[in-house]
Amino acid sequence: MPTVHRVSRRTQYLAKPRLPRCRYEPRAVARGGTKQTEVCRAYKEPYASKRLQQLALPHVRKLVAAQQEYRRFIARRQQDQLEKRIKKSIFTVYSRLANVQLPSVDKLKGMSPEEWQKHQDWLVRNAQPKQAPAPDEPKRDRKPLAVLIDRIESLSEPRFARKKFAGPEKPGPAAKPAALKAMASDHVAKLAEPLERRRRAKGVVLEDTRLPENVLKAVASSRVAELAVAKSYRNVNNEYRDNPFTVEPNALKAKPTDRILELAKPKKAKK
C-alpha cells in the first residue's frame, strides 16, 4: 500500500494563496469616436506661396535666348508677354542668387629679399628630420668588493640543504666486463651499417627483363601446337568468314520491288 503523509492544518492554511487574482484581467474595450486628421498640401491650395511662384517662373537666360531666337517669328503681343516674364524673372530671389559673381582676388604680393632669406632660413631649420634625445646614462653607485663579499657569500649558499645528494657521488651504470670482450659477427656488423651506405655499395639496381633459360628450352605439346593453328571459317554466313565482302548468290538473282525502285531514284533539287 502506498504511504500516506499527513499534513497539519497550519501547513494547509499557509499553502493557500492569500490574494488570488487572474494574470490578465478581462476588461471591456472602450470604442471612442474616430478622429480625422487633415493634411494641407501647398500645391493644392488656390493661392500658392511666393516661393512656389518664383520657382515656377522660367530661368532668365532661357527666356532671353528664346526671345533672341524667335524674335522674327512671333507676333508683337507674344513679344510683350515674353518681355514681361523676363522682367518678373529678373527680380526674383533665385535669379539674383544664380547671377552671383565672386569677388575678385588680389594677386599675390612678392617677397622682399629680406623676407625671402628669412623664409629660406625657416625651411632649413624645419626641414631637417627630428632627432631623438640622447638617453640619460643610469647612475650606478659602485661599492668596493670588500663591502660586498659578505653578501656574495650569503647568496652563494643554497637555501635548502638536501640530504639526498649529500656525501660522495655514487658511480653510474657501467658495462659488464663480458660485454667489453664480446666481438660482433659479420652479420651484426653488416646490419649496423646505415641503409644509404649499403645502397651505394651495391651500385645502380638494374632490372633483368630477359626470359629464363628453362622457358626458352621448353617444347610445346601436341595439344598446344594444335590450338596455336588459326581456324578458318568458310561455311559461316557471318562476320567471322574469311572474305566478309563477298555477295551471296541468291542476292544476285533477287529482283527489287517497285517501291524500292521508286525510293532509289534521286530527288529533284528545289529551286
Helices (H), 127-221: 145-156, 177-181, 186-192, 195-202, 213-216
- Averaged over 243-256, what is the pLDDT? 75
pLDDT in tens, 112-143: 889 889 999 998 888 888 888 888 888 888 88
Q: What is the per-residue pLDDT for 46?
A: 63
Residue 193 maps to a domain = no
Among 92-101, 129-138, 257-266, the range scoring the smallest mean pLDDT is 92-101
Among 108-117, 144-153, 163-172, 251-260, the range scoring the smallest mean pLDDT is 163-172
Number of domains the chain contains? 1
Q: What is the per-residue pLDDT for 102?
A: 55
Residue 147 maps to a domain = no
Q: DSSP code of 92?
A: S
Q: Residue 49: pLDDT above 80?
A: no
Residue 242 maps to a domain = no
- Averaged over 84-108, what is the pLDDT? 70
Cβ contact 38:29 at 8 Å: no
Share of the chain above pLDDT 70, in %: 71
Cβ contact 83:67 at 8 Å: yes
Among 49-53, 186-190, 240-244, the range scoring the smallest mean pLDDT is 240-244
Q: DSSP code of 99?
A: T
Q: What is the per-residue pLDDT for 117?
A: 92
Q: Is 53 helix (H, G, I), strand (E, B) or coil?
A: helix
- Averaged over 1-27, what is the pLDDT? 73
Q: What is the per-residue pLDDT for 118?
A: 92
Residue 53 maps to a domain = yes
- 248: closest CA among 264, 257, 237? 237
Share of the chain above pLDDT 90, in %: 1
Residue 43 maps to a domain = yes
- Residue 219 CA from chain centroid, whole number: 72
Residue 20 sits at the vertex; the CA angle it makes with 15 and 24, to the nearest 5 degrees, is 135
Task: Report the predicted TM-score, pTM, of the whole model to 2 decimal places.
Answer: 0.21
Q: Report the 10 Å Cβ neighbour count for 89.
A: 19
Residue 114 maps to a domain = no
Among 152-156, 181-185, 194-198, the range scoring the smallest mean pLDDT is 194-198
Residue 163 maps to a domain = no
- 97: closest CA among 46, 68, 59, 53? 59
Which residue did the predictor score with more confidence, 96 or 125? Answer: 125
Among 31-40, 73-82, 137-146, the range scoring the smallest mean pLDDT is 31-40
Structural domain boundaries, residue 43: 39-97
Q: DSSP code of 171?
A: P
Residue 91 maps to a domain = yes
Q: Residue 157: pLDDT above 80?
A: yes
